[in-house]
Amino acid sequence: MTERVPLSYPQHRLWLMERLRPQAPTFNVPLGVWLEGPFDVRGLGYALQETVRRHESLRTVIESDGGGEPAQVVQPPVPTEPDVLDLRGSSGDLDALALRHATEYARRPFRLDAPPLLRVLAVRVADDRHLLVIVAHHIVSDGWSTGLLVAELARHYTAHHSGTPEPQPSAPAQYRDFATWQRALVGTELAGQLAFWRRYLDGAPRELELPTDRPRPPVQGFRGRLHRFALPTEVARGARHTASALGATPHMLALTAFAGTLARYSGVFDLVIGTPVANRPHPDFEELIGYCGNLLATRVDLTGAPTFAEAVLRTRRSVLSTLEHQDVPFELLVEELGAGRDPSRHPLFQCLMVTQDFLPRSAVFGAARARYVELDNETSKADLYLTLDWHGGHPHGSVQYDSDLFDPVTVAAVTEQFLAVLGEGCREPGRRLAHLATARSSVHAEGPPPASPP
């Protein structure tokens, strides 16, 4: 009889949400990888087969018992092949065509009870140029796992390419181990951390009402778009320098600037912003592919008209305190606080920010070098979700946004405001945050003018 393993807390929440929107692309986790150089699809097939064999999560489906209770069920290894699309005979801009096909592929829904919950597409644009599209359902993967998946595919492919493929043993820890560990935490071990979160979020607003282009629907539709932007080199360099001077990190500076931008539009100066974390507290979990990530509700206090430097130090203290109490699953926190009852919005916070640092910086598939591209599967789990990548010679970012609420021009204006606040704050950290980039303040959506702190 096939063993049934209880779901982890984040898996159970996704399963509940999936039941409300079955076979929708909302929880697809896509990544595009441009490969420059000779590339053999047969080698990719070998790499995919080996990776799926080593990680139970990539062979897992979610099945319900007679009483409707879900569980993880691991399937035995079966032959797994990538999909292939050859565009070499097509006309027009083949890169753009490849990306359109990638978007369509990223939007194809999964069935949680039908394996596999991972698929890979190789789009051949030229003999020495391919677009690799990797899509997994969030219930078996997360951002950190995506980086591990790329690295492992590259490693197995390169071994096959060099003529020295050696089957590796199964991963030392499997996702069932993480789920069991997380379930075992619940009880007295988490009581102190839950007490912290109750105190920390006491009095904090649970709704951030930004001016929108359209009224908020009574039920969140999860429709979205992606706004990409370059992170100016001088801003990235300034953030690193100022962060070092303040004993902070560029993430803390950016979170402060993002909060300052949201405060300017909303008139709220005590904000809660979601910050995803990898949530892999044990070394065995660091190489684990699966949905381990957690969401932290980070409170940013901008009351009292602080300078940018003062606001960053407040954010630093807040971030560090939340990291010390990150074991509490977000789903359990929402349940404990009774914060998940409004179907029109994300619970506890409606805006998120993450610094992307999980992708391997120099993945090589044999003789082909990799360059990543963020794919838009035209969904959004929150009002605004800011992602920043500080690494490499071309720092960049994106905002995934709820297209039921916002128009592209509005999100572009918010992004421009954020970059201006961050840039000026790094150049003049002694200036009051509310006085930064005031010449750029504009609200394209209907609503009040940008506000000043109390």
Q: How does DSSP assign 75-108, residue by residue?
A: PPP-----EEEE-TT--S-HHHHHHHHHHHHHH-
Tell me what pLDDT residue 446 has: 43
The structure's pTM equals: 0.93
* Confidence check: pLDDT of 440 > 80: no
pLDDT band at residue 445 using 50, 70 and 90 as cut-offs? very low
Q: Phi then psi for 194, rounded to 5 degrees?
A: -65, -40
Strand partners, 4: 73
CB atoms closer than 10 angstroms to residue 191: 9
State the chain's mean pLDDT as an integer.
Answer: 93
* Confidence check: pLDDT of 450 > 60: no
What's the Cα-to-Cα distance from 1 to each of 54, 57, 66, 73, 118, rounded to whole Å? 21, 19, 16, 11, 24
Is residue 382 within 8 Å of 367, Cβ to Cβ? no
pLDDT band at residue 439 using 50, 70 and 90 as cut-offs? low
For residue 58, give the DSSP letter.
G
Q: What is the pLDDT of residues 164-201, one digit of tens each?
A: 887 788 888 999 999 999 988 876 778 899 999 999 99
Q: What is the pLDDT of residues 124-149, one digit of tens each?
A: 999 999 999 999 999 999 999 999 99
| Domain residue ranges of the chain, discontinuous segments joined by + | 4-176, 188-359+376-440
What's the Cα-to-Cα distance from 149 to each of 41, 58, 142, rounded to whole Å? 17, 10, 10
What kind of architecture, by CATH, is found in domain 188-359+376-440? 2-Layer Sandwich (3.30)
Q: What is the pLDDT of residues 295-340, one digit of tens each?
A: 999 999 999 999 999 999 999 999 999 999 999 999 999 999 998 8
Strand partners, 111: none
Q: What is the pLDDT of residues 350-387, one digit of tens each?
A: 999 999 877 777 789 999 999 999 999 999 999 999 99
Is residue 246 within 8 Å of 313, Cβ to Cβ? yes
Strand, helix or coil at 203? coil
Q: How does DSSP assign 292-331, residue by residue?
A: --EEEEEEEE-TT--BHHHHHHHHHHHHHHHHTTTTS-HH
Whether a cis peptide bond, with omega within 30° of 0, leads into 116 is: yes
Is residue 80 within 8 Å of 44, Cβ to Cβ? no
What's the Cα-to-Cα distance from 384 to each of 16, 152, 216, 324, 387, rounded to whole Å? 22, 31, 13, 26, 10
Q: Phi then psi for 60, rounded to 5 degrees?
A: -100, 140
Is residue 360 within 8 Å of 150, Cβ to Cβ? yes
pLDDT (mean) for 249-255: 98
CB atoms closer than 10 angstroms to residue 344: 13
Where is average pLDDT lowest: 23-27, 86-90, 252-256, 424-428?
23-27
Tell me what pLDDT residue 441 has: 52
User: Is 4-176 assigned to CATH 3.40.50.970?
Assistant: no
* Confidence check: pLDDT of 447 > 50: no
Percent of the chain scored above 70 by pLDDT? Answer: 95
**Exposure string over 418-454, b if 16+ CB within 10 A, otherwise e:** bbbbbbbbbeebeeebbebbeebbebbbeeeebeebe
Tell me what pLDDT residue 185 has: 85
Q: What is the pLDDT of residues 283-304, one digit of tens each?
A: 989 999 999 999 999 999 999 9
The two domains 4-176 and 188-359+376-440 share their CATH topology (first three levels equal)? yes
For residue 429, give the DSSP letter.
T
Q: Is 373 exposed, middle or buried (0-12, 13-18, 19+ CB in 10 A)?
A: middle
Q: Is 287 exposed, middle or buried (0-12, 13-18, 19+ CB in 10 A)?
A: middle
* Confidence check: pLDDT of 449 > 70: no
For residue 7, give the DSSP letter.
P
Q: Give the integer Cα–Cα distance in Å for 376 and 97.
A: 14
Tell me the Ramachandran region of residue 447: left when phi exceeds 0, alpha when psi lies from -120 to 50, beta otherwise.
left
For residue 216, give the nearest of 450, 446, 451, 452 by alpha carbon.
Answer: 446
Q: Give the integer Cα–Cα distance in Å for 322 and 358.
A: 20
Q: What is the pLDDT of residues 253-285, one digit of tens each?
A: 999 999 999 999 999 999 999 999 999 988 989
Please give the structure tokens belonging to residue 425: 């704050």
Alpha carbon 112 to chain centroid, angstroms = 20
* Confidence check: pLDDT of 242 > 70: yes
Alpha carbon 134 to chain centroid, angstroms = 15
Place of tokens 């492919």: 157
pLDDT (mean) for 52-69: 92
Please give the structure tokens belonging to residue 50: 């080996």
CB atoms closer than 10 angstroms to residue 356: 19
Strand, helix or coil at 73? strand
**Exposure string over 132-168, b if 16+ CB within 10 A, otherwise e:** bbbbbbbbbbbbbbbbbbbbbbbbbbbbbbeeebeee
pLDDT (mean) for 59-72: 90
Place of tokens 């043993």: 169
pLDDT (mean) for 49-78: 93
